[in-house]
Chain A
Amino acid sequence: MKKLGTAVAVIAAAGVAVSGCSSSSESGASSSSDGVVKAAIITSGPVNDLGWNQGMVEGAEKLEAEGLIDLTVVQQDSGATSEQIAQIVTDLAEDGHDLVVGHSFNYGEPIKGVIADYPDVLFAYAGGFGDITANLADYSQPFYEGSFLSGILAGDLTKSGILAGTAGFEIPVCKAQIESFADGARLSYKGPGEIQLRPSYIGGWSDAAAQTLEAVNALVDQGADQFTTCGVDAATIEGAKQRGVGVAGYAMDQTPLAPENVVSSIVWNLDEVLRAMVADVESGNIDPAKYYDVDFAEGGVDVAVNPAFADKISPEAMALFEEYREKIKSGEFEVEYKGGA
């Protein structure tokens, strides 16, 4: 929606920065002189979304509780402009942070413009495809591995054989997640016909909630009855709840959002990713930065099944789910990555 009034909407988005600062000071007020790594997270939505952002913040808070980092959280939303993100990142670096994580795919470009000025700071953004430049790291989002397992359950539960995936944009991680959802479903689906996959790319993240809801309506009207969602989870799950279809949760165990509709959830454990970054900051090993690729086998992601579906999923599909979960963990089976280049 923000495209029409671009010039003016740019300024509108600045409002979020105001709130971001106000909600961030609680944990970042104290400065560290005791050698603890000063880390900052810039979210791309509310920190209490029980998903993408909360998962990151909780992972970071875990490290803070362990005394590993001194944490600052800056809440932003996906409508923030590149200029705003660049400014926030600059401020955080000026403020003496050793690690600055921009938790959105969209933050990559603005951060790239800042990194050269602060060679002693490790920056990272949620690219998810190994996009590293000098002291800018990337971290993997192996959702596609979890999505394959969610797909096995969806393939068992679908009546129409039509699976749908909603995502903000057609970015590699989202594409891969949606594709492997269908691949998993093909293992357990008994017909009639074959699994059909209908991805829908909304064109916005949290700022396109109403469109996401209508995309879900459109997909259900066209027969889809099992969903996966990448970054537009709140509205997709709400849509699934309103229309009574199944959905796979995203980034955290999202069962509480729709206990009767969330079949399984892809759970992302970000504390391990952050832990590796903090270790590199401590050892000064930040340029060239790394691609922090903590996959399913290493505990980067897992899948939580909603207990309410225990008696709805067939024992065969459940067995298949467990079998593949073990195989992926042990490295015996590799989920094919279909995110493109």
Chain B
Amino acid sequence: MNWSDVLGAGALVPLLTAALRLAVPIILAAAGACLAERSGLMNLGIEGQMMVGAITAFVTVYYTGNPLFGAVTGAVAGLLTAAIVGYLTITMAVDQIITGISVVILGTGLASFLYLQVFGMTGTPPRIQGSTPVDLPVLSDIPAIGQIVFSQSPLVYAALLLVVALWWVLSRTAFGLSVRAAGESPEAADSVGVSVPRTRWITLLISGATAGMAGALVIDGLGFFQDGITGGRGWIALGVVILARWNPLGAIAGGFMFGLVDAFQLRVQAASGGQATSVPYELFQAMPYAVTLVAVVVTTVGFARNNAPKALGVPFVPAR
């Protein structure tokens, strides 16, 4: 095969652009999950919240034609789905893992059900017009980087800004301090007047909203909805949280790495195709997962200090 088709000067910008497109929903959902986990709450329901966000955004854009509005309704739908997790895990102190998985099942089924109910069987399956990429003035003229980062859809900018905002909230505000306290030592936080349930509720709703918006981003790029359209990105996002050492900015790096390897393998396969493939294509397909796995191991070993919030996954029942 011709490697310049994948790594040549002309091919690098499309490769990195594709990587970013694949990565942004994962980055956004992972950043929200970082917050929830830092407050001590496992939001395993992300995949379900993404699906509900995706179908809600799809229906919204189908009827209004407005992708930004779709992202908002998608986020709201994700938030509402997360509220179920919150009621069960925070208010009722039910096991977080079981609850999260149930919500994935619920969300996936609900999305598929709604799609069929709203659109039914027709001669023309519904399609939407996703948001159009916008060139940011001046910035998009920067060679290479400009085209990759600053010629994206407005939803991508919004998502990335949101991730930075989440990092800022977590690391630079009083609320962020309460979040970290609730996740490291809920009893201590409680004793100084921080409401652990309230803090966890807020981070969980943020996580649900980011997951819902991530779902909106997925259908925005594709222009259609299908069962399983989020394709396990919610689970990948949970892996990226660990990779990111529970830091929203780390989620950008971790999510992008996954998107990059995925985009890379698709391009390598396309470039090598047609010539009696000596390398089995399954090897390409396994690449993103293998690399993510290695990265998780490397970061876990590399960061000697275990960064996992100490109270992660432990329900907190305030003393009365």
A residues touching B (Cβ–Cβ < 8 Å)?
1-5, 8-9, 11-20, 22-23, 45-50, 54, 57, 75, 77-79, 164, 170, 196-204, 206-211, 213-215, 217-219, 221-222, 224, 234-235, 238, 241-242, 256-257
Contact = CB atoms under 8 A, between A and B. Distances in A.
Given A11-B101, A15-B108, A164-B270, A48 B116 contact: yes
Contacts of B119: 48
11 contacts: A3-B289, A11-B105, A12-B104, A14-B105, A48-B122, A54-B121, A77-B228, A164-B273, A200-B270, A200-B273, A257-B127
B313 interface: no
A21 B115 CA distance: 14
Among B107, B122, B266, max chain A CB count under 10 A is at B266
Interface stretch (B169-177, B188-196, B217-225): B217-225
Given A3-B289, A221-B14, A75 B238 contact: no
B112 A75 contact: yes
A190 B189 CA distance: 76
Among B222, B236, B274, max chain A CB count under 10 A is at B274
B192 to A, nearest CB: 36
Contact of A45 (B108, B226, B267, B269): B226
- Categorize the interface residue count of chain B: 35 or more
Interface in B33-88: 44, 47-48, 51
A164 B22 CA distance: 21
Interface string B114-125: 011001111111
Nearest to B115: A46
Interface in B246-271: 262-263, 266-267, 269-271
A137 to B, nearest CB: 26
A8 B269 contact: no
Which label, helix, strand, loop or mixed, suits the secondary structure of the A interface?
helix
Nearest to A57: B121
A8 B45 CA distance: 11
B110 interface: yes
A218 B229 contact: no
B227 interface: yes
A75 B116 contact: yes
Contacts of A2: 231-232, 235
A209 B226 contact: yes
A197 B273 contact: yes
Nearest to A77: B227
B201 to A, nearest CB: 24
Contacts of A222: 5, 11, 267, 270-271
Given A3-B286, A256-B123, A257-B125, A15 B232 contact: no
A254 to B, nearest CB: 9
A8 B125 contact: no
B109 interface: yes
Among B125, B227, B233, B235, max chain A CB count under 10 A is at B227
Contact of B274 (A196, A215, A218): A196
A12 B105 contact: yes
B59 to A, nearest CB: 14
A101 to B, nearest CB: 18
Nearest to B124: A256
B273 A199 contact: yes
B22 A18 contact: no
Among A1, A3, A200, A241, max chain B CB count under 10 A is at A1
A329 to B, nearest CB: 26
B266 A214 contact: yes
Contacts of A164: 270, 273
Contact of B270 (A1, A75, A218): A218
Contacts of A206: 226-229
Given A46-B112, A198-B270, A203-B285, A16 B121 contact: no
A213 B222 contact: yes
A15 B234 CA distance: 14
B292 interface: yes
Contact of B231 (A49, A209, A218, A241): A209
Contacts of B263: 214, 218
Contact of A221 (B11, B111, B285): B11
Interface string B198-223: 00000000000000000000100111
B180 interface: no
A192 to B, nearest CB: 17
B162 interface: no
A210 B226 contact: no
Given A8-B44, A18-B109, A234-B224, A207 B231 contact: yes
Contacts of B271: 198, 218, 222
B228 A201 contact: no
A50 B123 contact: yes
A23 B113 CA distance: 7
B21 interface: yes
Contact of A1 (B101, B105, B232, B267): B232
B281 interface: yes
A9 B231 CA distance: 10
Contacts of A197: 273-274
Contacts of B127: 238, 257
Nearest to A196: B274
Interface in B103-157: 104-113, 115-116, 119-125, 127
B222 A209 contact: yes
